[in-house]
Amino acid sequence: MIDVKTGLLLWSAEALTLAAILMVAWVHKRAVRSYLFWSLGLFAHGAGVALVSLRGHIPNFLSIEIANGVALSAYAFAVAGLCHRDGKPLRAAGLLPATLWVGCMFIPGVRENLGYRAMTFNFGSCIGALVVAHCLWSPGFARLATRRQLAVIFLLQAISSCIGAVVMAIFPADTLQQIASTPLTAATSATFLVLEVLFVSKMVMDESEKRLKDLALIDSLTGVLNRRGFFERFESIRAQAMREGRSIGIVLFDLDHFKQINDRYGHAAGDQTLMVFSRIVARRMASQGAFARLGGEEFAAILPVENTAVARAFAEGARQELALKRIFAAPYTIGATVSAGVKVMAAETASADLMLSMADKALYAAKHAGRNRMVVAGEEAEPQDDEEGTADIDACVRQLRSLHMSGNCPADRTFKRG
């Protein structure tokens, strides 16, 4: 049988090696701070186990109180990494294992008895494993099935630690070798560590695969969905609207005189205009629905709505914001306008192709009526400038365009299109 201290050193080396690998991954991808948290967790675990293995060669305070507390702090880092990766608030419950250990070290009867210390450590491990399992059970990064498989492994670890704690409470050990000989202890814990690392690796690979698939649905210039992404998201948004008893609204946008921007100011200015408009609409949508660039200067938004008035207000708000926006594309400061066609249907009967077709007809009516306006499918294509101040905006647009055509354009070469 392997010497217990040798086994602990091997266990420590395993954890520290994995910590180094994750640290390198974080150095190369610092935006993913979960790698840093998990690396620190494995480092704490490995360092704590290494200090335990050095008992008799270093002061007891280091090999007992400090060593086990550091090892149990690994759960706090594991929970922090999961919460950060899932975009959720940090959970203080991750601190419970180390807190339990520190508190019990102030009890002389526990601190001075190896068996009771082992019991305390196992109870701390049980609590930590349960907290991690709880974090994994809910949806987050990676596939839910993989997360729950890993959660089951942590649950088994919690059960194992609980059994170990009960055994130590009934039959307190006098030596480290006796603890190692107890069923479901060191060897089992090391096995759980390997399984957990394997499943975390699978979760990271699943997420990377999903990210690659998502990239195929994203417009590279604007960062919003592309045409394929639009149609893929339509059905999920439609299903959500049906569950909530809401309708589906599609707003089709088309930038006015976009070719003139490219011809007069260059394609860099055109690209900047596309990006500015994308940011305007994406910000207004927040997390509701989806927004896509269908091609060229044409965009579409899908959103669950209560009625047509909501979709109308959304489209009109985006139109007015762009009309007032100054777009900086060195050395020019330019302006742009957009026309919009709106169609709203009951979620049960909504069809992407049909709604796009009807929104396109409304968009054509908006263009025909003079551009820089919004039209709802099925309604007369009348200018939607009853909002206070819109008439003044249109007058300024016409005046600036007239100045440009006459050669008296202001020095900053501003050009508003109407």
CATH class for domain 227-406?
alpha beta
The residue whose two tokens read 């249907």 is 345
Domain residue spans in the chain?
A: 4-215, 227-406
Bridge partners of 58? Answer: 55
pTM: 0.58
Beta strands in 170-276 (DSSP E): 247-255
Burial label, 190 (beta-carbon count in 10 A; 0-12, 13-18, 19+): middle
Coil vs helix vs strand at 245: coil
Q: What is the pLDDT along the chain (418 residues), one digit of tens a residue?
A: 557 788 788 889 988 998 998 899 899 888 889 999 999 999 999 999 999 999 889 999 999 999 999 999 999 999 999 999 898 999 999 999 999 999 999 999 999 999 899 999 999 999 999 999 999 999 988 888 888 988 999 999 899 889 888 988 888 877 766 665 554 555 566 677 777 777 777 777 777 777 777 778 899 899 999 999 999 899 999 999 999 999 999 999 999 999 999 999 999 999 999 999 999 999 998 778 999 999 999 999 999 999 999 999 999 999 999 999 999 988 999 999 999 999 999 999 999 999 999 999 999 999 999 999 999 998 744 444 444 444 444 544 444 444 344 444 443 333 333 4
Q: By the 8 A CB rule, do 339 and 372 touch?
A: yes
- Tokens linked to 11: 């266990």
Task: For residues 274 and 216, give the distance between their C-alpha atoms in angstroms, rounded to a whole number.
Answer: 19
Single-letter amino acid, residue 93: A
Tell me how far CA of residue 19 lies from CA of 5, 12, 16, 122, 297, in angstroms: 21, 10, 5, 23, 48
Roughly what angle, to the nearest 10 degrees, separates helices 258-265 and 267-285? 140
